[in-house]
Amino acid sequence: MKFETRAIHDGQMADSKTGAVIIPIYQTSTYRQEAIGKHRGYEYSRTGNPTRTALEEALASLEEGKYGLAFASGVAATNAVFSLFETGDHIVAGDDMYGGTYRLLERVFKKWGVSTSYADVDDLSSFKKAIRKNTKLIWIETPTNPLLKIIDIEGVSEIAHKHDIILAVDNTFASPYFQRPLLLGADIVVHSTTKYIAGHSDIIGGAIILKGEKLYTELKYYQNTAGAVPGPWDSWLALRGLKTLAVRMKAHAENALYLAKYLSKHNKVENVYYPGLDSASNYIVAKKQMSGFSGMLSFGLKGDRLAVDRFLAHLKLFTLAESLGGVESLISYPALMTHASMPRKERIKRGITDNLIRVSVGIENKSDLKNDLANSFKYV
Ligand code: P1T
């Protein structure tokens, strides 16, 4: 079956007892056992819950994996992956990534003796150069947050596997509709399901999708042991969002390309970051590994922080907020929002400048969106 069909049906068969077409919200913490250890596959909802199972199976299918694991947040899923390692182990990560992932590596795992080196995401060979004898994981996001850089997944996978290193890809920005890293050589896919998967800015959630049984067994054990699982209500909302992922992603991408083109011609815009512009430095790789360019873009405003404030203050449709991937358009200021945990020097070095604005393009009418931006530019 094709993606659109699987998003609606996989893992989501009609309820065998009642015929309910939609998987119920199994709002229960525990399950009756007929005798000690004799149960129907569920004992306790931290370990497993049927609504969560449906979400895990649907995600595994859409990412072309064999196994899915749902978590209470994207960060909880990321934390589970990093927890595979121990003191003395080393991680190589791309140098453009969600600030919260950077914070987890630098403020939590570092003090436990798991160190990280950052590779230049624009230069494949820098991943190879960053590898040490004790490197166990390469971690990348693509497209990256917030600069929308594209990393060649197949290229990094070749480097990782030559050195017996696990490759994990955070696929949050692309969603499985536009990119399936497991088919490109990744061992682990991570999502913040808070974003495009759930799609309506109403839950916090995360997921890991895998193709190999060994990693699945380890991470499933960790999921139950550490316990950062989503409740059935949030699992159900993520599943409900998932059903329309394909139609939403097409609309997000169409609107984002339209706005990226508009912004690149605007005299108050210094530069635009959107992988779908054929002028983008990473367009060729993006075209090779993605079937569309998703709904995220960033741009540098000509001017200083005050100009940014004036621009943001006059927007009516775009809401100033963290997060992304919902049907409504959001706008954010990475320097003091998503990447506030990164020291300024480090942030500037990575290109997250004081005039950078990030846009999560929603699925409203694209002319309305453009007009809202056009009006605000008048005040810059
Ligand atoms: O917020 P949470 O569900 O825990 O997901 C963390 C996360 C993981 N990976 C990527 C690529 C992300 O962008 C995020 C969260 N990002 C935001 C909240 C944001 O506004 O960028």
Whether residue 341 has its Cβ less than 6 Å from ligand 1? no
What is the helix (H) or strand (E) element at residue 320, kind and residue range?
A: strand 319-320
Query: CA–CA separation, 296 vs 145, rounded Å?
Result: 9
Whether residue 175 has its Cβ less than 6 Å from ligand 1? no
Kindly report the length of the chain: 380
Q: Ligand 1 mean position to 267 CA, how many Å?
A: 31
Q: Which residue's C-alpha comes closest to atom 3 of ligand 1?
A: 74
Report, as residue numbers or ranges, the catalytic residues: 46, 98, 170, 195
Q: Which residue's C-alpha comes closest to atom 17 of ligand 1?
A: 323
What tens-digit pLDDT sequence spans the chain (380 residues)?
A: 999 999 999 999 888 889 999 999 999 999 999 999 999 999 999 999 999 999 999 999 999 999 999 999 999 999 999 999 999 999 999 999 999 999 999 999 999 999 999 999 999 999 999 999 999 999 999 999 999 999 999 999 999 999 999 999 999 999 999 999 999 999 999 999 999 999 999 999 999 999 999 999 999 999 999 999 999 999 999 999 999 999 999 999 999 999 999 999 999 999 999 999 999 889 999 999 999 999 999 999 999 999 999 999 999 999 999 999 999 999 999 999 999 988 999 899 999 999 999 999 999 999 999 999 999 999 99
Whether residue 96 has its Cβ less than 6 Å from ligand 1? no
Alpha helices in the chain (DSSP H): 3-9, 50-62, 74-82, 99-103, 124-130, 153-162, 175-178, 213-226, 232-242, 245-264, 283-289, 305-313, 344-349, 366-377
Whether residue 352 has its Cβ less than 6 Å from ligand 1? no
Q: Which residue's C-alpha comes closest to atom 13 of ligand 1?
A: 98
Whether residue 231 has its Cβ less than 6 Å from ligand 1? no
Domains annotated for the chain, with CATH where assigned, are: 3-243 (3.40.640.10), 246-377 (3.90.1150.10)
Q: Ligand 1 mean position to 245 CA, how many Å?
A: 18
Q: Ligand 1 mean position to 25 CA, how many Å?
A: 25
DSSP 40: S
In 147-163, which positions are buried (b, 16+ CB within 10 angstroms) versus exposed (e)?
bbbbbbbebbbebbeee
Alpha helices in 265-326 (DSSP H): 283-289, 305-313
Nearest residue to 316 (alpha-carbon basis) of 380, 261, 374? 374
- Which amino acid, residue 293? F
pLDDT score of 80: 98
Contacts of 29 (CB under 8 A, 6+ apart): 44, 45
Query: CA–CA separation, 83 vs 79, rounded Å?
Result: 6
Ligand 1 atom at shortest distance from the alpha carbon of 193: 3
